[in-house]
Amino acid sequence: RLSDFNLQEAANTAWAFATVDHLDEKLFAALATAAERRLSEFKAKELANTAWAFATANYRDEGLFAAWAMAAERRLSEFNPQAVANTA
């Protein structure tokens, strides 16, 4: 049902699983695919929270993190200090 989620809902889902230290590989793989497809639509906070969640859950996808880094760099002026810290 991830296709029914808006970006904030997807970010919140990743954040929730990461916060309780639960890495569900299938869920995070689906979230990663959905995130990559809609990367240009992410707001700074959504991007930062999702990047934080994936890193905290120890989900490794070099391509996804590289794409997030490029997206964040292009829109760095939109990030508040907390979003910069979460993304880093």
Per residue in 21-51, pLDDT (tens digit) is 888 999 999 999 988 888 888 888 888 888 8
Per residue in 67-78, pLDDT (tens digit) is 988 988 988 899
Provide CB contacts within 8 A for 23, sequence distance 6+: 17, 57, 58, 59
- Cα 84 to its chain centre, rounded Å, is 13
pLDDT given for residue 29 in this prediction = 93
DSSP 41: G
Cα distances (Å, whole numbers) of residue 15 to 27, 30, 74, 77: 12, 14, 23, 23
Is residue 16 pLDDT above 90, yes or no?
yes
Q: What is the pTM of this model?
A: 0.83
